[in-house]
Amino acid sequence: MANSKKWGNIIGGKEDLEGDNHILTSPADGSEIGEVVYASKAKVETAIDSSAAAFENKWLHTSLRDRKSLLQKLAHRVMERSDEYANLESLNTGKTIRQSMLMDIPLGIEHIRYFAEENEFRESRKISHPEYPDTTGEIQFAPMGVVGAIAPWNVPFLMAVWKTAPALLAGNTVVLKPSHFTPLTALELGKDALYAGFPPGALNVVTGSGDVVGDTIAKSRKISMVSFTGSTTTGKRVMSAASASVKKVTLELGGKSPNIVFADCDIDHALKGVLFGLYLNSGQLCESGSRLLVQSSIKEEFVSRLSKLLEAMKAGNPMDMTTDVSAISNRKQLDKITTMVNEGIAGGATLLYRKEIQAIVPSGGLYYPPTIISSPNLGLEILQEEIFGPVLSVVEFRDEKEAIEIANKSDYGLAAGVWSKDIEKAKRVASTLMAGTIWINEYHLLSAAAPRGGFKQSGVGRELGLEGILEYTQTRHIFVNKGFNDQDTVAYGLVIAEGE
Ligand code: NDP
């Protein structure tokens, strides 16, 4: 992989290098990484056909045990190449190499293993029908068929794992579309699935723009389900495009997650958690704790100490193991962050802190400095909408009731954090927050066993855990009359005469 400078699409068991070539540059320093072939609409359709054939001819008849065994082999293969994956992930996204080596790649490997080893998912369960004692029922969790997976650019390897491992485990074949900005580790995963022994077409990976590749997937009649992660705006478009063929759609969308710090917290611990909660990956994580809600009595001390911690973060080349500050993954995103912050400040927000990094980061790279802002006007766009960058907004609250009110006053509901030594209070607050994941005295930590997803406009459906696997299934009920006798002599009101 390290010497490969050209990546093609993975279609029907082969890397297809034919098509439009695009040069990828690293957001870390602007250097050229290599060329990627974008799939045309026709190539995407070929990939869908190949996944449909793989589903019908092979994967549907492959046992759950064998599917798990292949996932185990895939985890092993990625593990052997983990340094290459980490290097490629950081070059392509601009995230620090330390993060790729200690988080994205090892967590992705662990999560493939989780799906290879978990034993909660059963392909069927038995029921009895209380109304009809002589009958039994079998509820089967059948695969959907071909799943179209559309992924964003912020955590490309993890996202590829989350969208493919549970879907394959549940018996589906997958056409994965990584972001055209960051397709490299997903394409490598497609190659390694073949190396591990997955049948051709079980996992096809096609990259290119959303308007061509994503739209073809969303509209295809041969795809039964779309699993999408990205912005709320694009998620709505995908949902609408998928409706023409009545596809199942799961959406993991944007957030504006509150990190609620009570005065009775362990301040040292909470400071680290708030920093980790927002500045990891330079804020380009969907569940980032981008709204700091801090109790009035500790606000000044908290913000001042947080600024000092940010001051101590090391900016530099993300490919250097000692660097803390990740680059921004693409120019479009850097422009969005810059515009939102500038408009927020013009609209009355106050800049509380901004780290000086420009002289230290590589000149050809894309960077936004870790920043803290505040405003008493909670209606400002910058306090309501996802920035997806290293910009924390600070809002103070007086008491528990007000904290909950402010936290829930959002169109989004992906995640939240609660910091307090009073665990009962923290749990009480957590249970009233309208969000899919709530950490108490913690942030960001992900478990493959725990379903994640959003309330409100943060999404529909869940990823990971048993609930995440079940999303990739459809329920079939088989009703068996064991006794060969009529269960209802009046057949729900229709009297059927005996004899001819
Ligand atoms: P998008 O939501 O536009 O992109 C997500 C994925 O959808 C990409 O693979 C993209 O393709 C694809 N896509 C785009 N248009 C279509 C379409 N019409 N049909 C099908 N698929 C499509 O995210 P952006 O990259 O534009 O980022 C914008 C904002 O989204 C960010 O600023 C951030 O706020 C949010 N975001 C949220 C994420 C999350 O995890 N919830 C992750 C990333 C971003 P391609 O980009 O290759 O053209």
Q: Is residue 489 part of a domain?
A: no
Examine residue 484 and state whether it is found in any structural domain, yes or no: no
Q: What is the pLDDT of residues 188-233, one digit of tens each?
A: 999 999 999 999 999 999 999 999 999 999 999 999 999 999 999 9
Same domain, 196 and 245: yes
Nearest to 480 by CA among 123, 141, 134: 134
Residue 379 lies in a domain: yes
Which residue intervals of 25-149 are DSSP H helices? 41-57, 64-80, 82-93, 97-99, 105-117
Ligand 1 within 6 A of CB of 100: no
Q: Ligand 1 centroid vs 180 CA: distance in angstroms?
A: 10
Flag whether 405 is in a domain: yes
Residue with the smallest CA separation from ligand 1 atom 40 is: 286
Q: Domain with 153 in it: what CATH number?
A: 3.40.605.10
Do 162 and 286 lie in a common domain? no
Residue 297 lies in a domain: yes
Could you tell me if the CB of 333 is within 6 A of ligand 1? yes
What is the total count of domains within the chain? 2
276 and 234 both lie in a single domain: no
Same domain, 367 and 393: yes
In a domain, 493, yes or no: no
Place of tokens 């794992």: 161
Same domain, 242 and 303: no
Based on the fold, state whether residues 45 and 90 are members of the same structural domain.
yes
Shared domain for 214 and 339, answered yes or no, is no
Same domain, 279 and 242: no
Phi, then psi, of 300 in degrees rounded to 5: -65, -45
Q: What is the mean pLDDT of residues 52-63?
A: 98
Instruction: For residue 313, tell me if it sits in a domain.
Output: yes
One domain, residues 319 and 200: no
Across-strand partners of 353? 372
Question: Which structural domain, as residue segments, surrounds residue 381?
Answer: 258-440
Give yes or no: residues 291 and 208 share one domain: no
pLDDT tens across 315-345, in order?
Answer: 999 999 999 999 999 999 999 999 999 999 9
**Could you read off the pLDDT of 128-179 as tens digits, one per residue?**
999 898 899 999 999 999 999 999 999 999 999 999 999 999 999 999 999 9
* Same domain, residue pair 138 and 232: yes
What is the average per-residue pLDDT within 437-447?
97
Residues 285 and 382 in one domain: yes
- Walk across the sheet containing 32-38 and list its strands: 6-7, 32-38, 20-25
Q: Is 210 in the pocket of ligand 1 (CB under 6 A)?
A: yes
Looking at residue 423, which CATH number applies to its domain? 3.40.309.10
